[in-house]
Amino acid sequence: MAKFDSILGTIGNTPIVRINRLGPQHVNLFVKVEAFNPLGSVKDRLALGVIEAAEKSGALKVGQTVVEATSGNTGIGLAMVCAVKGYPLVITMSEAFSVERRKLMRFLGAKVVLTPASERANGMVKKAEDLALKNGWFQTRQFENEANPEMHSRTTAREIVADFAGERLDYFVTGFGTGGTLTGVARVLRRERPETKVIVVEPDAAAMLASGLPQERRADGAATASHPSWKPHPYQGWSPDFIPRVAGEASSEVLYDEVVTVSGPEGMKASLSLAQKEGVFVGISAGGTFAAALKVAETAPAGSNILCMLPDTGERYLSTPLFADINADMNDDEMAISLSTPGQHLPPKAAA
């Protein structure tokens, strides 16, 4: 086993896993499981990348407070990085996102400031901007920071190219939150594997890229209001109510070939199938990306290799609709199994 100077050395080098029981038999379907990052998501990469870039440029001073707006995964990654490096961290987060994420960030030492759900992602971004300006804090600006896609070009993309060296890579399928994974990986694939078709996934309720409609922005590039094609969806951390500048760069640079949309139920069904058929435990956004990969697989030529990004672990979603039908108490089948043993008394209900 390798030895590391800190937990930060374990970020990246996540495994690519073959899918064997799900999907059509005429293609080879693979997933890159970002839950293997130390804090359980692809955003660990972003967190380390933006902090180290700020340190190198001098934009982040020793002991300075870091502030960021996040649905959770970036905040959790930043909390880990800031804990190691000694920076105070303040997170702004819409109250619409799961309580697990708030607790994880606070457990790691971050302060979490909640914004009204009605203000959506734009509200938490504006709050972070206001706090940074008022207090002189360093704002990481994940949605527009070039260090975000650069980190993925330097790590995620290099891992993919190495893992498919000497093999076909016909399709790369990914959703987007900030657009860092999409833009950073696609830039490298366009240059080194131009035969690879890049597929970007959106919720059908928030098909902003697919709509072709522009995003209304301020002079500094920030979104002024929700995108006209955005409606609420269950994919936390995926497709905020604006097209981030980083994701917009992927569009302007023509870094993807097709947009595939998926519904909330499709994503949750795919996440459950991955757990119960492949033993791969991931969240709703990963399920949505995988659901799109299955759509791509249906019409892909025989023998195609398809790689799908799975951005985080399912443990971020225990309080969400993903687990709505998963009970702590025994169901009827489990009760029948328990009572089938002679002499056994009715077990007590599980503690809440």
Q: What is the C-alpha to C-alpha distance for residues 29 and 27, in angstroms, rounded to an integer?
A: 6
What would be the CATH architecture of the domain defined by 13-38+148-322? 3-Layer(aba) Sandwich (3.40)
Catalytic residue among 43, 98, 271, 304: 43
- Is 285 labeled as catalytic in the residue annotation? yes
Predicted local confidence at residue 344, as pLDDT: 55
What average pLDDT does range 243-252 have in this prediction? 88
Burial class (CB in 10 A: 0-12, 13-18, 19+), 86: exposed
Q: Could you tell me which residues are beta bridge partners of residue 299?
A: none
pLDDT in tens, 207-222: 999 998 888 777 777 7
Q: Would you say the C-alpha torsion 336, 338, 342, 346 has a positive or negative sign?
A: negative
- pLDDT band, very low/low/confident/very high, at 293 (cuts 50, 70, 90): very high
Q: Which fold has domain 43-139?
A: Rossmann fold (3.40.50)
Task: Pick the catalytic residue from 41, 98, 285, 304.
Answer: 285
Which pLDDT score, from 0 to 100, does residue 224 have? 76
Collapsing DSSP to helix, strand or coil, 85 comes out as: helix
71 has a pLDDT exceeding 90: no
Residue 226: per-residue pLDDT:
86
Q: H/E element holding 278?
A: none
Task: Return all residues near 214 (Cβ < 8 A) that are at least 6 apart.
Answer: none
Q: Under 8 Å CB-to-CB from 15, ≥6 apart: which residues?
A: 32, 33, 36
**pLDDT, position 287:** 97
Q: Are strands 111-115 and 89-94 parallel, antiparallel or unpaired?
A: parallel
Instruction: Determine which of 22-26, 307-311, 324-328, 343-347 has the lowest per-residue pLDDT on average.
Output: 343-347
Token pair listed for 290: 């995988």
In the chain, residues under CATH classification 3.40.50.1100 are: 13-38+148-322, 43-139
Please tell me the pTM assigned to this model. 0.91
Model confidence at 121: pLDDT above 90: no
Query: Which token pair is 311?
Result: 């951005």
Distance CA 283, CA 18 (A): 18
pLDDT above 90 covers what percent of the chain?
72
pLDDT at residue 203, as a whole number: 95
Check residues 239 and 12 and name the one with the higher pLDDT. Answer: 12
Q: Which pLDDT tens digit goes with each residue over 27-65?
A: 999 999 999 999 999 999 999 999 999 999 999 999 999
**Cβ-contact 246, 143 below 8 angstroms:** yes
Q: What is the mean pLDDT of residues 137-166?
A: 97
Contact between residue 114 and residue 95 where contact means Cβ atoms under 8 Å apart: yes
